[in-house]
Chains A and B, each alone.
Chain A
Amino acid sequence: MSYLTPAALTAVRDRREGGLTLGAFALGLVAVLATALVPAIPPGSGLVLGGALAGLTARSLVRALQLGLYFGGLVLVCWGAALVLFGVLAPVAAATPLSLLAVALGFGLPTLAAVAVRGLV
């Protein structure tokens, strides 16, 4: 519990963390999809939003870190699957250092966002 965490949120986290996390992940994926489809939305903001939502649902700071990593991994897996469907997984993977940076950002952005949010609320 943080200084700013409402008691109700703490209670909900304790009772329904699993369901909340699923919802956060789903919303986060929608946000990531939106950033991929709408050029006006800053790239990476979907990852940050998804991580922040995941952090909001976490029972602890450590759990937030875990959920951030999980969400990042989920986004990368979904993206990889999309690249397979588009037939470009291999050339995208070969586009180093950008592809390596993408993996780092995939894990890093939501994790940072999750910890940042959970540390405050």
Chain B
Amino acid sequence: MASDLAGVVASVLCLAVLLSAAVGGGSLLTLSAPASGAAWGPAYGANDGSVASRVADLGGPRQVENPYGHATVQYDDAGVPHINASNRQALAFAVGYVQARDRLFQMDLQRRLMSGNLSAAFGARAVESDRFHRQMGFADAANASWRRIRDTEAGDGVRAYSAGVNRYIDARPTPFEFRANDYEPTRWTPQDTLIVGKLIAWDLTGDFRDLRGRSIRRAFPDRTDEVAALYPDQLDHDEAIVDSAVGGERNAVGEPRPELVSGDADAGLQGLYEELRPHQSEPGLGSNSWVVAGRHTEDGSPIVANDPHLSLTVPSVWYEQHLRVRGDGDDAMDVRGVAFPGVPTVVIGANEDIAWGFTNVGADQTDLYRYDRPSADTYRYRGETREFETHNETIPVKDGRDRTVRIRRTVHGPFLSRETPQGETGVAVSWVGLGDTRESVAIYELNGATDLDEVREIMRRFDSPTQNFVAADIRDGGTYFRLTGRYPVRQVGNRSVTGDRVFDGSAARVEWPGFEPYGRTNWSAFHDYDAVPEVRNPDYLATANQRTTDDPPFYIAHSPRYADPYRGERINDLLEQRATSDRPITAEYVRRMQRDVRSEAAADLLPVVADATGEMAPETRAAADRLKDWDRNMTRDSRAALLYARWLEHYRNATFGDEFRSRGLDESYFPKDHTLARLPADSRWFDDVRTGDRERRADIAARALRRAVAEIDREGWETYGDYNRLHAEHPFPLEFLDFPGRGMDGSAYTVSNFRSQRSTQAGSSWRMVVTEGESSGVIPGGQSGNPYSPRYHSQLDEWAAGEYKSMARASAGRTELVFVPADGGAE
């Protein structure tokens, strides 16, 4: 009897545990149960090279019905799909399918972010992000772009692509992230593809930095001239892109500099920048590109090099693809390169005739307007009182109560505001990307371009974002550079003005002619396409986000928006060294350039340390001696590079931190390092306002090095790679989803670019070198977003080591997918 009782007790206990596991730990059980757990579903089809996959393929490649025509997909060893289709729509459908297969979660995350739908999947923590993105109306802007392009050939392609994505959603298991977070992907629409373009454009050109300048000016009312000198219109260097190009024919004719308008519209916007700042991209995104004409290369073929420095995300920002339309028809093409997941076309790459790449200009594409406000619902405009265009939207919130967001718009764009003790304060935002931009059409056409004249015509439709565009005609050796994007005409009366202030919207100051946010913009009312800087057939030309030209034909941007010139200077030096030698520029030489880690910033700044050794204690002086002997290469195994990197951080902080922080400005407001390097030895900025002494540059340099040495000892760092580590992290807090960390070469100012100190690290997100017959590229991660796939981060080691893989267009191996026409018709 006693054992019977024990059995019942044990039984009840076990049942209780089972029940509590099912109820309390239900989601974990559902996710992790061996074999059947939701987490494991994506694993079973993740490895195309597995025994199971090969057995399944014995019956032939998997077939998918394609309403647009025939297509085949082969994957190469790196997981790059080689898609061969009977026409461009059939191709787009197949691209949609394979991108969804490899990156559906990433695609969904991007559209959710921009349309303000993150909370529906991830809960209340995303509400503020959703509120901002809905207020900005990015989804309406994508709708406007779709209305503009839907009746074009590119529009047909976007439609077919969307159908391909949806075919995958219908047919295959959802990716891990959907299962782990217990939600399902919704249907993909053409607007979702266009909103991915808006996301990229916003990251590269959307910001509220006009308010940043205002915050700085208000913080230092007593040092107006000194502060203005910290943020000059132009940094003092000779590396402007167009001006340092060698050879070629330039179109841009310098005109008198635009005049500054007064800043009197800046009043009453306290705290707004700080509130909006989280929604703009962090500084530090940049890129390198250069083009070399055939006359400087070994075989007469030009070379295009491009390595965009974007966030090092998991999965990788880019998706590589090789797209081919068979035959001799008008839509025949053969192009390989990288796309943003969600975009059907190759954004950076090469076809049989043309190679091209992009870097960010840094152009000022946003203007802000403030208003006289008679009431909460109205604003004054051109002497009359207008009501905001207003509507409410509901933000669905997973596991929480839904939120309502009030959307207000003026004639200039969305109205963003914050509450202050003095009442509501806000600005309307004009951003070029809120117009019905046509960059998707331009890229679609670029994929099939055959010569540089055609390219130049195509880029007329590349309305946004503003990019340094380099291209080369692989066959005839020609080269080309121009700025893409549309540049608003900013005028007061007949005077051209800059756009770095908040304008008086009530007085209709500096409105952009032709601009219709969310509507049909008249792009021809922007600056004339032929007046936008371009260089035809340069011998060589390099872009590294530095100033476009010393004498722009109109206001493009001021120095805070451009990069320091160090990368540009180094690239120009390396190109010149080789071009003026008796040796040709080769693809291998260009690849070595992309791996270059010499810091021109270190060369510029370190004389300050050498001059300060008299102020140093022996231990600090030993560090200074090490820096003196250093070759300026930011390599992971270098102790001196570590000393320099930490010294610079402390030097910057010791110079500006005391004044800026005491006035409520953090390090994001500090001037550029190029400016720091040029402060005179007795500049007042070196004086530490917290001490009774009057510090000079040498005191601060010595202090910074002393702090760097102490910090390095404290942290236990031995070399630069201990500090400069890769942490590429997945949005989900599961360690196995992250890419493996490692010490890295490179810095923000080296050609081989790696920025470890951003909240999301940034660096070379795609390295590409294209020349006829020897093209190569690599991404910092892998093709597949499936964490169980052998291609999840299969290129990471190559990327970190500065190696490349071929971008050949040859047949890649066995056919894994066949898309068959829905009607069984001809191919």
Contact = CB atoms under 8 A, between A and B. Distances in A.
B6 A102 contact: no
B35 interface: yes
Contacts of B37: 43-44, 98, 102, 105
Given A43-B29, A102-B33, A113-B18, A85 B51 contact: yes
Contacts of B51: 84-87
A88 B7 contact: no
Contact of A75 (B28, B35, B39, B41): B35
A6 to B, nearest CB: 14
A119 B36 contact: no
Nearest to A96: B736
A59 interface: no
Interface stretch (B8-16, B93-101, B348-356): B8-16
Nearest to A89: B43
Given A87-B53, A102-B34, A119 B11 contact: yes
B29 A88 contact: no
A88 B41 CA distance: 11
B735 interface: yes
B47 interface: yes
Contacts, number: 148
Nearest to B8: A119
Given A61-B7, A109-B18, A88 B35 contact: no
A117 B18 CA distance: 12
Given A61-B10, A119-B12, A36 B32 contact: no
Interface in A15-58: 32-33, 35-36, 39, 41-48
B183 interface: no
A113 B520 CA distance: 66
Given A92-B40, A96-B735, A105 B10 contact: no
Contact of B7 (A2, A76, A113): A2
Given A105-B29, A115-B10, A46 B36 contact: yes
Nearest to B9: A119
B597 interface: no
Nearest to A120: B11
Q: Using C-beta atoms within 8 Å of the partner chain, give the interface range for chain B.
A: 35 or more
B34 A76 contact: yes
B43 A115 contact: no
A8 B10 CA distance: 23
- Chain B residues touching A, majority SS: helix
A105 to B, nearest CB: 5
A86 B46 contact: yes
A18 to B, nearest CB: 22
Interface string B16-60: 011001000000111111111111110111110111110000000
Contacts of A120: 7-8, 11
Contact of B18 (A92, A102, A116): A116
A43 B47 contact: no
B4 interface: yes
Nearest to B55: A85
B30 A87 contact: no
Contacts of A33: 35
A17 to B, nearest CB: 17
Contact of B35 (A36, A113, A115, A116): A36
A108 B789 CA distance: 29
A116 B14 contact: yes
Given A86-B52, A88-B44, A103-B34, A44 B29 contact: yes
Contacts of A45: 36
A94 interface: yes
A32 B33 CA distance: 10
B533 interface: no
Of A45, A61, A116, which is in contact with the most chain B CB atoms at under 10 Å from its CB?
A116
Given A92-B43, A119-B14, 15 more contacts: A2-B7, A3-B4, A43-B36, A45-B36, A82-B35, A86-B44, A86-B46, A86-B50, A87-B53, A95-B39, A95-B736, A103-B34, A105-B29, A112-B18, A119-B8
Interface of B: 3-4, 6-12, 14-15, 17-18, 21, 28-41, 43-47, 49-53, 734-736, 787-790, 792
8 contacts: A43-B31, A44-B37, A46-B35, A86-B51, A88-B47, A102-B34, A105-B37, A116-B14
